[in-house]
Structure 1
Amino acid sequence: MTVKRATSGRRMRLGVELRKLRERAGMTSTEAAQMLGTSAGQLSNIEVARFGASADRVRALARIYDCSDHAFVEALAGMAGGRQRGWWEEYREILPTSLLDLAEMEHYATALHTAYTSHMPGLLQSADHARDVFRQVVPELSPPEIEHRLSHRIKRQAVLYRADPVPYTAVVHEAALRMRFGGPSVARRQLEHLLGMSEREHITITVIPFDAGGFPGAGQSIAYACGPAPQLDTVHLDQSHGSALLDAEAQLHKYRMVLDRLKAFTLTPEKSRDFIHNIAQQL
């Protein structure tokens, strides 16, 4: 085990899930540590992500906790013992930790589902559009801060271009399509970029028009990342005061329902492309 100077969201999630398994087994950290052959302090440090844990140690803990869900255990083992630094680590001490956690979440997701009302999804933003979005941040960002955030956002988009691109489904409200960040020409190119991305086999973009009226989750920006096992799914909420990662079972269930119910309010992918094209033609 090694002590990590900077704890990633993924490492923290592993510790939380191991603690949940121990508590469901009705065991104290002292009892579990004795069976594992370590100290209660070392086990506690794994659970709060101060220490890492090897995949074999994760499997050993799962056996101690009598967890018979093989797929879940292997998914946890896959989260353990990592030595490679993700590209997002170069932004540590430069950008808020929540942005690094978001990039890490997207990188390891098996599928992504997003729903945005007033903004374009970050993974689908053009550079010019994103730059102007960052110029509107309050309190105001300095030019270097804007460029750091922009480069981070563009690098996040690699999950859609890599050899094994993550399947991505995006719901975008008409309000977001009509926002003219950067002026009409930038807005038109953003819509053209959106149309181009919608043609990719692994990307599905659907639109909620104003005519659809009210709908579940209105006013929220929701990003749902599917993990290698359903228990490891994560919800990212982007709010004016900051972002939040949610992973409690009840929270995951709620946002699965929200995203599922949104389907009744969206146009088909084909009609959505026509809708986007028509708005672009008006600019």
Structure 2
Amino acid sequence: MRGTPTGRQLRLGMELRKMRERAGLSSTQAAQLLGIKQNQVSNIEAGRHGVSPERLRTIACHYDCPDKELVEALTTLTPDRKRGWWEDYRDILSAGLLDLAELEHYGTALRTAHTAGIPGLLQTMDHAREVFHQVVPELPPPEIEHRASFRIKRQGVIFRRRAPVPYQAIIHEAALRMRFGGRDVAKQQLKHLLKMGEHPNITILVIPFEAGGFPGAGQPVYYVHGPVPQLDTVQLDQAHGIVLLDAEAQLDKYRRILDRLTALSLIELESRALIHSIIQTI
């Protein structure tokens, strides 16, 4: 039995619950089919009890799940014996931040859109520190350092030697012109964006002021692709913390928002030219 389940463990349990419900089975009926107690089914679905890939396939068989691709994708959510680097921050930062790092680590592609800030995976350490200095209520210096170092360490997912994850960032021109930390920090941050955009797996697109209105009400959107579309996740930043969405209608909505924002953006070469021109004005 686990303590507090991670976001990944909760997602697996939720998907197994949905699979059971699609089969028209109660938790009691499922327990009878699987030869276990009803509370064990509940614990599995709550992410408190792990299942092996073999056990998961057995459950899917008993639930008459016809989607073999989904079942195999779900096996990738089963417990990993390797301890993720984010676990070093378990007693230091919020569970939501750790869940985000875990989500990114296992994601197959990442898409994000920001209209009033630089995406976290593209920030310099100085810029990240300044962002956390603006948090309300004010954070103590050690907390700022922990959050900034954690944010920079998350960037490893787009730099790892083996299979760096494809990453697309859409940034509004307004965000590029904000001078977090003053002139020098802002200038170095924009130069860093140009350098990051040179990596083949990283695409940086800019929405210019001339594009006019845009969907999404200016809220940062972070879309993490899973091994199959059903396991995609949207992450939103709220004043009270991180929110993860995975309902089919929500995923479809934010996919369409990101597609529309992409259409409003300058192409990659033009985006780089605009960033360079803004650097010249600082």
More divergent stretch after superposition (144-153 vs 256-265): 256-265
CA distance in 1, matches of 2:37, 2:176: 56
Tell me the residue number matched to 1:36.
Answer: 34
Whether contact under 8 Å (1:30, 1:40) holds in the other structure is yes
CA distance in 2, matches of 1:93, 1:7: 14
1:253 counterpart = 2:252: yes
One-letter amino acid matched to 1:54? S
CA distance in 1, matches of 2:97, 2:117: 17
Alignment of 1:1-283 (within 5 A): 3-163=1-161, 164-283=163-282
Q: 1:126-163: per-residue Cα shift (whole Å, max 9, x none)?
A: 00100111111100000100010011101100001101
One-letter amino acid matched to 1:51? H
One-letter amino acid matched to 2:74? L
In the TM superposition, what is the alpha-carbon distance from 1:241 to its structure 2 partner? 2.6
In the TM superposition, what is the alpha-carbon distance from 1:32 to its structure 2 partner? 1.1
CA distance in 2, matches of 1:41, 1:264: 49
CA distance in 2, matches of 1:241, 1:208: 28
Q: Which consecutive segments of 4 or more residues in structure 1 shift more than 6 A? A: none
In the TM superposition, what is the alpha-carbon distance from 1:5 to its structure 2 partner? 2.1
In the TM superposition, what is the alpha-carbon distance from 1:65 to its structure 2 partner? 1.1
Whether contact under 8 Å (1:174, 1:208) holds in the other structure is yes
One-letter amino acid matched to 1:104? E
Q: 1:59-110: per-residue Cα shift (whole Å, max 9, x none)?
A: 1111111112111101101111322221111212311111111111111100
Identical amino acids, percent of aligned pairs: 62
Whether contact under 8 Å (1:117, 1:173) holds in the other structure is yes
One-letter amino acid matched to 1:275? L
CA distance in 2, matches of 1:90, 1:7: 16
More divergent stretch after superposition (16-25 vs 262-271): 262-271
CA distance in 2, matches of 1:148, 1:201: 30
Secondary structure in 2 matching 1:244: strand
CA distance in 2, matches of 1:41, 1:117: 46
CA distance in 1, matches of 2:100, 2:78: 19
CA distance in 1, matches of 2:262, 2:140: 39
Q: 1:24-56: per-residue Cα shift (whole Å, max 9, x none)?
A: 000011111111111111111000011111111
CA distance in 1, matches of 2:63, 2:29: 11
Where structure 2 has 5 or more consecutive residues not aligned to the other structure, the ranges are none
CA distance in 1, matches of 2:71, 2:232: 14
More divergent stretch after superposition (216-225 vs 110-119): 216-225
Where structure 1 has 5 or more consecutive residues not aligned to the other structure, the ranges are none
TM-score (norm 1): 0.97
TM-score (norm 2): 0.98
CA distance in 2, matches of 1:212, 1:181: 24
CA distance in 1, matches of 2:3, 2:27: 24
Secondary structure in 2 matching 1:95: coil
